[in-house]
Amino acid sequence: MTGTIYDDTPCELGEGLLWHPEREELFWFDILGRRLHRKGQHWQFDDYVSAAGWVDADTLLMASGTALWRFDIGTGARTHLVDVEADDPATRSNDGRADPWGGYWIGTMGIEADPQKGAIYRYYRGALEKVVPGVTITNAICFSPDRRFAYHTDTPSQQIMRQPLNPDTGWPDGDAVVHVDLTDTTHKADGAVVDAAGNLWTAQWGSFRVASYDTSGAFREAIEFPAEQTSCPAFGGPDLSTLFCTSARTGLSQGQLDMHPLSGCTFVATTRSKGQREHRVIL
């Protein structure tokens, strides 16, 4: 199965896809372009922006390079919520997702992908707490539909980890274990999402695809896209069976861009699976 183009706006580093379930509308980011996009519109910022969760029909929680913000979709105004490594100009936010308890997990990384410079934090009831330290490129933050697990990866490790969670609070409970091991392949996990059946779908940077793995971590299927650097998937559409995927142009040579001119665009594919409704962030 091969995806087709959804939006031909080229992103240097497309990321942070979010299907807003109340608006039935797709949002995504160009981290290096410092923009938030939706079909036919974008918002430009002075700092990096990378990921979001939905608060209500008119409001997003948005991650920037130094903070989490309340973002008004109608006016474009931002209200500061909490700093995230604001004292370190060498880091920025990257991947993030709301959890089933109304919290928000946000990953950071070095702007130059410095080894183990980043971390994963959870923002919950007004407080920010570090949950995974020492990460190089934070990605694949997503949650199982039974509320038992969080997933995340350090992309260079080529391993997606499964973190047990306390079912009452959503905080980590026990040690993380390897869920998907790609170390014997050329694939590198980037953003990820879990469908309603518990299967994990991960964009694989450098592999032109989003791949799906079952609840045991075994490979199920892959959907190909006409861009080498696929970066973040999301389920959306009226019945949540449509898979969207961002991509990136950054780091590609002119020859690679000539060969794959849709690099950086956002894509869409119909699947036989159904996604989870994105969890609401409770502020």
Task: Supply the residues annotated as catalytic.
Answer: 190
CB 161 within 8 A of CB 142: no
- Classified as helix, coil or strand, 135 is strand
Q: Computed from CA positions of residues 134, 142, 193, 26, in that sequence, does the dihedral angle turn out positive or negative? A: negative
What tokens does 247 get?
């991509």
120-152 in b/e form (b: 16+ CB < 10 A) is: bbbbbeeebeebbeebbbbbbbbbbbeeebbbb
Structure-block tokens of residue 50: 């990378």
Please state, in angstroms and rounded to a whole number, the distance separating the CA atoms of residues 63 and 41. Answer: 19
Spatial separation of the C-alpha atoms in residues 110 and 101, rounded to whole Å: 28
Q: How far apart are CA 200 and CA 76, in angstroms?
A: 33
